[in-house]
Amino acid sequence: MVSAFHNIALANKTYAFAKDLNGEHLYNGKKVLTINKVQQKGVYAPLTSSNNFYVSVGEGHTLAHCFANLKNPEFFESIFSIIINVWGLIDSRETNEEGMLPAVSWMKNTFSFLIEE
């Protein structure tokens, strides 16, 4: 399960927000026929070395990008990865009080104009 603003990999090797996938063909070749809204409490936004993780889609899986709420995440992933890695050399804290890496929290505030909500 992902949020409405998680980026999901499409068959054409781009990404789109989960809320906009109706009728789209996913990276795994499946076509999205319906989108169901489910309200749950909590946050899930893993940060992986590939900037992607797998999510369940029906009976299969497809790719989601680690950068939720950010259009065209593949455009930003190189510079954001550099910031995260350099910041990690300076600040050894795993997460802050929000449960985020300090570098991610800083980028969220600094680049808030790029974030869709």
The pLDDT value recorded for residue 43 is 59
Instruction: Residue 60: give the domain boundaries.
Output: 7-65
The pLDDT value recorded for residue 108 is 86
The pLDDT value recorded for residue 33 is 87
For 80, counting Cβ atoms within 10 Å of its Cβ (0-12 exposed, 13-18 middle, 19+ buried), the class is buried
The pLDDT value recorded for residue 52 is 86
Report the C-alpha gap between 27 and 15 in whole angstroms.
Answer: 9
The pLDDT value recorded for residue 42 is 62
Ranges of the chain whose pLDDT falls below 50:
none
99: Cβ contacts below 8 Å, ≥ 6 apart = 43
What is the b/e burial string over 6-32, where b = at least 16 CB atoms within 10 angstroms of the residue's CB?
A: bbbbbeeeebbbbeebeeeebbeebeb
Report the C-alpha gap between 51 and 32 in whole angstroms.
Answer: 23
38 and 18, same structural domain?
A: yes
pTM above 0.85, yes or no: no
The pLDDT value recorded for residue 19 is 93
Distances in whole angstroms, Cα of residue 24 to Cα of each of 20, 30, 83, 103, 113: 8, 8, 33, 33, 27
The number of folded domains in the chain is 2
With respect to residue 1, please indicate whether it lies within any of the assigned structural domains.
no
With respect to residue 2, please indicate whether it lies within any of the assigned structural domains.
no
